[in-house]
């Protein structure tokens, strides 16, 4: 049978009395912080007079840039220039173009020249007949030859006048066609260049609006980030304070609060052994018989 301890010693160690209130304050503050209800950033921001947004919205300049970019298409001036250049490139100076560009008064001028040639030929004929009459050769072969030659010359002159007039009118029409076509090419090229310039200016304006709007949005995001950081700091502040106090309290030295010693009472077996030993001793002193001593020994042996 194992021996029963006769005493128990308990050593109590804890904070010194001067530090105990601070330890209790740390535990109380932690309990209060844990019990605090959750507060979202949006709720906190509205109490501070803020919008509660966490992402900056698009600015007006960005919206204008987006709308302008959505409306971008083919430049109307460039489109008109391309269509005009295409139409001019397919034009050729043919008979229809010559009739279109030929001076409508050309034939009138030619007819006047023809009439003048006829008049001059008539004058020459009259003079020729007068000469023949004075020489008595009127109606002769020489006169006939001279009239025939004059008529031939008149016909050739009339043909030359018509051909030269037509050629001059054709050349003038061709020159006018080429001049107008060249002017058209230059005009459409200038129109296309102007259209490209305007398109580039519009695009540059949209890019500038987008750039400035992005900077405005970034500044707005910076303000929101500051608000969210302030919210985080405010939420974490009680826990940081509790942690700071906890570190100080835990780093403070502990003190011995006292020692308690508990004496265990005697057991029934111990009491029986004591009684038997006393009986045995009394028997020997009284010179008792062996029977009593044997009974005492028996009692001891059974315990």
Q: Are residues 136 and 274 in the same domain?
A: no
Question: Considering the entire predicted model, what is its pTM?
Answer: 0.51
Q: Are residues 77 and 97 in the same domain?
A: yes
The verdict on residue 161 lying in a domain is yes
pLDDT at res. 276: 56
Q: Are residues 243 and 267 in the same domain?
A: no
Q: Are residues 75 and 110 in the same domain?
A: yes
pLDDT at res. 219: 95
> What is the Cα–Cα distance from 92 to 85, expressed in whole angstroms?
14
pLDDT at res. 154: 84
8-12, 77-81, 101-105, 298-302: which has the minimum mean pLDDT? 298-302
The verdict on residue 245 lying in a domain is yes
The verdict on residue 147 lying in a domain is yes
The verdict on residue 42 lying in a domain is no
The verdict on residue 82 lying in a domain is yes
pLDDT digits (tens, 9 = 90+) for 20-43: 787 788 888 888 888 888 889 999
**What's the pLDDT band for 302 if we cut at 50, 70, 90?**
very low
Q: Are residues 96 and 228 in the same domain?
A: yes
Q: Are residues 237 and 269 in the same domain?
A: no
pLDDT at res. 11: 59
The verdict on residue 50 lying in a domain is no
Distance set, CA 213 to CA 61, 68, 71, 114, 225 (Å): 5, 14, 18, 80, 18
Q: Are residues 303 and 214 in the same domain?
A: no
Number of separate domains in the chain: 2
Q: Are residues 240 and 152 in the same domain?
A: yes
Report the mean per-residue pLDDT for the chain: 79
Q: Are residues 187 and 64 in the same domain?
A: yes
Tokens 């296309």 -> residue: 192
Please say whether the beta carbons of 210 and 61 come within 8 A: yes
Q: What b-and-e string marks burial along 33-45, b requiring 16 or more CB atoms within 10 Å of the CB?
A: eeeeeeeebeebb
Which of 129-143, 148-162, 205-219 ranks highest by mean pLDDT?
205-219
Which helix (H) or strand (E) segment holds residue 173: the answer is: helix 141-251
Which helix (H) or strand (E) segment holds residue 184: the answer is: helix 141-251
pLDDT at res. 294: 47
Q: Residue 255 phi/psi, 5° resolution?
A: -130, 155
272 or 294: whose pLDDT is higher?
272
- Can you give the residue range of the structural domain that contains 138? 60-251
179 or 135: whose pLDDT is higher?
179
């Amino acid at each position: 049978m194992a021996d029963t301890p006769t005493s128990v010693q308990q050593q109590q160690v804890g904070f010194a009395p001067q530090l105990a209130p601070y330890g209790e304050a740390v535990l109380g503050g932690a309990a209060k912080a844990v019990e605090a209800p959750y507060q979202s950033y949006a709720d906190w921001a509205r109490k501070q007079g803020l919008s509660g947004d966490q992402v900056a919205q698009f600015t007006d300049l960005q919206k204008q840039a987006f709308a302008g970019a959505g409306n971008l298409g083919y430049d109307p001036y460039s489109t008109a220039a391309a269509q005009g250049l295409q139409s001019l490139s397919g034009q050729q100076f043919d008979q229809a173009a010559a009739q279109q560009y030929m001076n409508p008064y050309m034939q009138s001028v030619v007819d006047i020249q023809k009439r003048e040639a006829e008049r001059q030929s008539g004058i020459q004929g009259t003079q020729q007949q007068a000469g023949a009459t004075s020489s008595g050769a009127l109606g002769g072969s020489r006169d006939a030859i001279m009239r025939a030659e004059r008529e031939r010359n008149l016909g050739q002159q009339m043909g030359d006048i018509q051909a030269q007039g037509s050629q001059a009118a054709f050349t003038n029409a061709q020159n006018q066609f080429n001049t107008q076509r060249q002017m058209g090419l230059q005009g459409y090229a200038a129109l296309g260049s102007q259209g490209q310039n305007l398109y580039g200016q519009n695009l540059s304006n949209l890019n500038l609006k987008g750039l400035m709007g992005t900077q405005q949005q970034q500044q707005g995001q910076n303000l929101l980030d500051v608000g969210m950081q302030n919210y985080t700091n405010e939420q974490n502040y009680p826990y940081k304070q509790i942690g700071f106090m906890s570190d100080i309290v835990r780093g403070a030295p502990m003190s011995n609060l006292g020692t308690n010693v508990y004496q265990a009472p005697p057991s029934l077996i111990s009491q029986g052994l004591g009684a038997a030993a006393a009986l045995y001793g009394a028997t020997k002193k009284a010179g008792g018989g062996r029977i009593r001593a044997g009974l005492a020994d028996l009692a001891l042996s059974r315990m």
